[in-house]
Structure 1
Amino acid sequence: MRVPVIVDDAPSPTTLPGGTTATGAATTVLAVRTALPPHRYRQDDLTELIGDLCLAPGAERTLLRRLHASAGVRTRHLALPIERYAGLGDFGKSNDAWVAAGLDLGEQALTGALEEAGLAPRDVDLLVCTSITGIAAPSLDARLAGRVGLRPDVKRVPVFGLGCVAGAAGLARLHDYLRGHPDDTAVLLTVELCSLTLQQCDDSPANLVAGALFGDGAAAVVAQGRGTRGRDGVGPTVVATRSHLYPDTEQLLGWNIGASGFRVVIGAGVPGMVRRHFGADLRAFLAHNGLTVDDIGTWVCHPGGPKVLSAVADVLGLPDGALDTAWHSLATVGNMSSASVLHILQNTRETHRPEPGTWGLVLAMGPGFCSELVLLRW
């Protein structure tokens, strides 16, 4: 069997087969934990209730029902009971709900991941916290620090704006940090309460798509450079990453922010972008690391939606079943923005248990328009 030599995107003193170096360049993922709100609904039960929020009384609901039926979602979790959304009224109330529910879910994900890793909150040296569904100063990570018992000298990086790509990009930035601090423990926390951004009395196609596709949740990843303070060797390891920003695509995905809060922008051209550019970029990244698509045994793909998942499978020529974990996540919890790819990574570790030596790839896309690739070795 061919054994490729991994060349990490960042220079390292001595690159060894398998992606590690004498300075400990590989990052070990010790734990991944997802936290979901207790309010779980069947898609069929949400359709008319979301229609009541988004559409005028007596408005035609054919498009709404078609979008809900074709979204690939069977169940979703919402930050609040569905009957409370009509009373939110404005951005201030929605954002207050994001802070309250986000802190609870963030705490569950963070403490659950640390417990799984065999670590305590005081062991955390870096906390990267990302969300695109609310905003706060002090940020969620600052509010969580005393609540869960992080050290006063913990390094914090709150991130806003990466959206769906932030789960993969955040993992990549943990890897960047741990290359320079291999004895540290770094944590990525994503908190996405997409339902709180749903615009009332807005029948735009983008708002209706968001109301059919997105769910709520939080997820946390615990990683170390040398695995010196936790359960070493549980894997996988991060061995290389790549970011790609596509010019002149700023209006394809993101938010228009106004008095009513975050008004979603979802361009119809997203699957087309994937088909035109993503396959070549991904193959170039793998080739840079001595690999091909056929070498990847586990695909951890953000479930942007049925059309995006189908486009990824088509441009890469993936076999049937390669993206089953992404389709399953979409069906059971919807698209949870940055938390989704981490939910899939957790399921891959726990359910599929790749054999040691298996290559994996985390991939996601988000506002920019941009993509992020993270090469794993189990």
Structure 2
Amino acid sequence: MSRIVAAAPAVPAFRYSQAEITTALEPLLTHDPARAALLRRIHASAGVQTRNLVMELDRYATLDSFHEANDLFIAAGADLAEKATRDALDAAGIGANEVDFVLFTSVTGVAAPSIDAQLVTRLGMRPDVKRLPSFGLGCVAGASGLARVHDYLVGHPNDIAVLVSVELCSLTVQRGDDSMANIVASGLFGDGAAAVVVAGDAVARERGLTGPDVLDTRSSLYPQTEDVIGWDIGGSGFRIVLSAGVPDVIGRHFAGDVHALLGANGLTVADVGTWLAHPGGPKVLEAFAQALGIEDAALEPSWRALAAAGNQSSAAVLGVLAEALRTPVPRDVGLLFALGPGVTAELVLLRWAAA
């Protein structure tokens, strides 16, 4: 097993209401009155009340190249990654020089060396720390990253690992593109980062580190769904691929994966008291609840996260996890999960120790 010791989100300083964002983005995306009316309806129904953005709203009108957007991703992303990681390590009571493994993930910018390389110097990590940057998993990467960190720690029970996610989704919005995918994305996605500190079983017991244990994980790649979620990457940067078929994919496949994971561990849906769902949007959350046969209220933490910050891609579900860790209520079995390009699903089964 491995143990989640701490998690911390970080967001940019610029915070706006959904209405303010809609007003600013509308003339950047379309001059067609019918598409503008559609944009306003889609934004109003996205379940989002506020979002943090990496730039002031008026600056998006002048952001006209992928080069400029990616430079900003690297500079601002490194700052957010540093803050999230410092906060998580401080909450865990663990020094940066004690970290043995860092998994970094993002799908909204590219850098070589990757942003996690900057963290080694900024935070004072050891030069022999193992690093593994990841790109391409999209929204599922928060859950997948946690699962892969767990896999590493099963083989290295005396090690400390950190998962770091940075997603600056606003930098990918395409100007002059009033396609349904870009309209939906412009009303749904927000900017943010998150870090999670995870300890191997031996070091967690030796040091008395508290938090939920990762009991098991499950990965699923659903066939013939490659065109449902992803990027079309070209000269203008990252153009969103986002179809209306995501809820259908959830309805066809998701419950089977959940039942398989729970059943392999002698559990059922009724045994899960804490649901940590990726806040992918209203239709996604509704599809999760319907597939699992649970009330929408069971996913309330994810609905709150969506309203407060939008869908922050891979960082979003880690923010939901961070809230669960700092909320002092009795917990036993939990399930953290997300979907991403592929379509890929990742499930992480958790158990909190009895108080």
TM over 0.5: yes
Cα deviation, residue 248, structure 1: 1.5
Corresponding residue for residue 270 of structure 1: 246
| Aligned partner letter, 2:115 | L
Confirm whether residue 305 of structure 1 aligns to residue 281 of structure 2.
yes
Confirm whether residue 213 of structure 1 aligns to residue 188 of structure 2.
yes
Deviations 1:44-102 (A, max 9, x none): 11111111221137664111011111000000000111111111101000001101110
Which of 138, 149, 161 is matched with 2:113 structurally? Answer: 138
Counting only pairs closer than 5 Å after superposition, residues 54-93 of structure 1 correspond to structure 2 as: 54-56=29-31, 60-93=35-68
Which of 211, 214, 230 is matched with 1:238 structurally? Answer: 214
Report if aligned partners of 1:118, 1:231 keep a CA contact under 8 Å in 2.
Answer: no
Which of 338, 350, 353 is matched with 1:376 structurally? Answer: 350
> Would you identify which runs of 4 or more consecutive aligned residues in structure 1 move more than 4 Å?
57-60
Cα separation, partners in 2 of 1:347 and 1:151, compared to 1, 3 Å: same
Distance 1:231 1:343 in 2: 25
Say what the alpha-carbon RMSD is for the aligned residues.
1.3
What secondary structure is seen at the aligned counterpart in 2 of 1:247?
coil
Deviations 1:292-347 (A, max 9, x none): 10100000000111001001101111034100000000000000000000100111
Query: What's the TM-score, normalizing by structure 2?
Result: 0.96
Distance 2:15 2:296 in 1: 29
Counting only pairs closer than 5 Å after superposition, residues 237-256 of structure 1 correspond to structure 2 as: 237-256=213-232
| Aligned partner letter, 2:346 | E
Identical columns (%) = 55
Which of 79, 88, 109 is matched with 2:84 structurally? Answer: 109
Corresponding residue for residue 258 of structure 1: 234
Cα deviation, residue 354, structure 1: 4.1
What secondary structure is seen at the aligned counterpart in 1 of 2:121?
helix
What secondary structure is seen at the aligned counterpart in 1 of 2:9?
strand
Higher share in helix = 2
Which of 42, 45, 57 is matched with 2:20 structurally? Answer: 45
Report if aligned partners of 1:190, 1:339 keep a CA contact under 8 Å in 2.
Answer: yes
Cα separation, partners in 2 of 1:369 and 1:60, compared to 1, 3 Å: closer
What secondary structure is seen at the aligned counterpart in 2 of 1:375?
strand
Distance 1:193 1:130 in 2: 12
Distance 1:137 1:56 in 2: 38
Confirm whether residue 293 of structure 1 aligns to residue 269 of structure 2.
yes
Deviations 1:175-210 (A, max 9, x none): 100001000000000000000000011101000100
> Mean Cα displacement is larger for which, 54-63 or 342-351?
54-63
Report if aligned partners of 1:271, 1:311 keep a CA contact under 8 Å in 2.
Answer: yes
Which of 313, 326, 329 is matched with 1:350 structurally? Answer: 326
Distance 1:346 1:373 in 2: 17
What secondary structure is seen at the aligned counterpart in 2 of 1:228?
helix
Cα separation, partners in 2 of 1:320 and 1:273, compared to 1, 3 Å: closer
Q: Which runs of 5+ in 1 are unaligned?
A: 1-25
Report if aligned partners of 2:218, 2:257 keep a CA contact under 8 Å in 1.
Answer: no
Corresponding residue for residue 183 of structure 1: 158
Distance 2:239 2:105 in 1: 19
Corresponding residue for residue 195 of structure 1: 170
Cα separation, partners in 2 of 1:110 and 1:231, compared to 1, 3 Å: farther
Distance 1:231 1:221 in 2: 18
Which of 95, 104, 128 is matched with 1:153 structurally? Answer: 128
Cα deviation, residue 233, structure 1: 3.8
Corresponding residue for residue 363 of structure 1: 337
